[in-house]
Amino acid sequence: MTFWKEKILVGRTALKNRLRKGLFLLDGAMGTQLMTLGVEPGKCSELLNFESPGLVIRIHKAYLDAGSDAVLTNTFGGNGFALARHGLASRVAEINTTGAQRAREAAGRSKYVLGDIGPSGDFLEPLGSLKPDQLSATFADQAGALVAGGVDGFIIETMTAVEEIVIAIKSAKAVAPGLPVLASMSFDKRGDDFKTMMGVDVKTAVSFLVAAGADAVGFNCGTTTLDEYVDLAKRYVAAAKAVNDKVLVFAEPNAGKPELLDGKAVYKVTPDEFAEAAKKIYEAGVIIIGGCCGTTPEHINAVSKKLRS
Ligand SMILES: [Zn+2]
């Protein structure tokens, strides 16, 4: 740990210790918030860390004011493969370091910053074209750049393939062994069960994420109703307990199941409804809670009020 990093930590407990102390609120959506504020779909939103720093910091601050203990960097699509689709593969370092710095500008020294890592958008061979060492190097580059920008830990989310998320967890841990990694997959309801798009069930996900070294295992996004998220939370907690008593569970549900309106995904769950579900998720044993697509600072504020009053 560098001197500079030690200075940043003054005034707040290292994230790993803080997570053991009970309820910890993450933020809500960044992507859908940016679109609400006029950013066009399809635009590389990570570029806004440079082009519209004020906008990015404003969204981070709105979540912190609403009650979030941590914000996620605007780097979800910041790995080399995702950036390559925008012709930006050569800018991984500056995009991620700047994203971390923007979040830190909002969070200051009293709140936490999680470096956000999303999927590559491709699959490992033989299903896709990726080789494991290539993928590992790509995630390590992103994680290293996030650490250079001063993150307190990582959140790896919206993953559907267990092989990919395991590589991402190990890469982040190799880059910064002392920083906690929150690892999350996206589930859909399939009959009586929950599975990711790639067919991974809850027990398999939890056991692989824990074995890879994740400090907290979770679920985010996906297409389920609020009641189904509560059910998923119960199954996740049971699966985590069966593997290791000390593993933390986290949840970032969407604002309900998306409905298609004129070809656009619309999330209709109100902040109060969201907070009601968050309470049940918390009571099921999930102590780290945030929101994914369609959630806003109002949703997080409703959760904060409900769970902290
Ligand atoms: Zn989402």
Q: pLDDT, tens digit, for every residue of 70-91? A: 999 999 999 999 999 999 999 9
Distance 10 CA to ligand 1 centre (A): 32
Q: How far is the CA of 151 from the centre of ligand 1 (A)?
A: 21
Separation of 270 CA from ligand 1 center, angstroms? 16
Q: What are the pLDDT digits (tens) for 21-36?
A: 999 999 999 988 998 8
**Residue 18 Cα, ligand 1 centroid: separation in angstroms?**
25
The pLDDT confidence band at residue 263, using thresholds 50, 70 and 90, is confident
Cα 82 to middle of ligand 1, angstroms: 16
pLDDT in tens, 5-64: 544 444 568 999 999 999 999 999 998 899 888 888 889 999 999 999 999 999 999 999
Distance (Å) from CA 169 to ligand 1 centroid: 19
Q: How far is the CA of 6 from the centre of ligand 1 (A)?
A: 33
What tens digit of pLDDT does each residue of 154-206 get? 999 999 999 999 999 999 999 999 999 999 999 999 999 999 999 999 999 99
- In this prediction the pTM is 0.95
- DSSP line for the chain: --HHHHHHHTTS--HHHHHTTS-EE----SHHHHHHTTPPTTS-GGGHHHH-HHHHHHHHHHHHHHT-SEEE-S-TT-SHHHHHTTT-GGGHHHHHHHHHHHHHHHHTTTSEEEEEE---SS-BTTTSSB-HHHHHHHHHHHHHHHHHTT-SEEEEEEE--HHHHHHHHHHHHHH-TTS-EEEEE--EEETTEEE-TT--BHHHHHHHHHHHT-SEEEEE-SB--HHHHHHHHHHHHHHHHHH-TT-EEEEE--SSS-EEETTEEE----HHHHHHHHHHHHHTT--EE---TT--HHHHHHHHHHHH-
* Residues of the chain above pLDDT 90, percent: 87
Alpha-carbon distance of 278 to 288, in angstroms, equals 10
pLDDT given for residue 309 in this prediction: 83
Cα 266 from Cα 268, distance rounded (Å): 6
**Spacing, Cα 295 to ligand 1 middle (Å):** 9
d(CA 223, CA 247): 25
Q: Measuring CA to CA, which residue among 54, 82, 29, 65 is closest to residue 253?
A: 29
* Cα(203) to centroid(ligand 1), Å: 22
CA–centroid distance, 263 to ligand 1, in Å, is: 17
Cα 7 to middle of ligand 1, angstroms:
33
Give me 169's structure tokens: 């967890």
Asked if 180 and 215 count as a contact pair (C-beta separation under 8 A), the reply is: yes
Say how many Å lie between the CA of residue 31 and the centre of ligand 1: 8
* Ligand 1 geometric centre to CA of 70 (Å): 17
Burial class (CB in 10 A: 0-12, 13-18, 19+), 239: buried
**What separation in Å is there between the alpha carbon of 252 and the centre of ligand 1?**
8
Distance 16 CA to ligand 1 centre (A): 25
Taking each helix axis as running N to C, give the angle between helix 271-283 and helix 226-243, from 0 to 180 degrees, rounded to the nearest 10: 20
For residues 240 and 11, the answer to whether their CB atoms sit within 8 Å is no
CA 293–ligand 1 middle distance (angstroms): 4
Computed over every residue of the chain, the mean pLDDT equals 94
For ligand 1, the distance from its centroid to the CA atom of residue 2, given in whole angstroms, is 34
Q: Ligand 1: distance of its center to the CA of 209 in Å?
A: 19
CA 307–ligand 1 middle distance (angstroms): 22
72 C-alpha vs ligand 1 centroid, how far in Å? 13
Residue 254 Cα to ligand 1 middle (Å): 6
- Using the structure block, give the residue that is written with the tokens 């650490």: 147
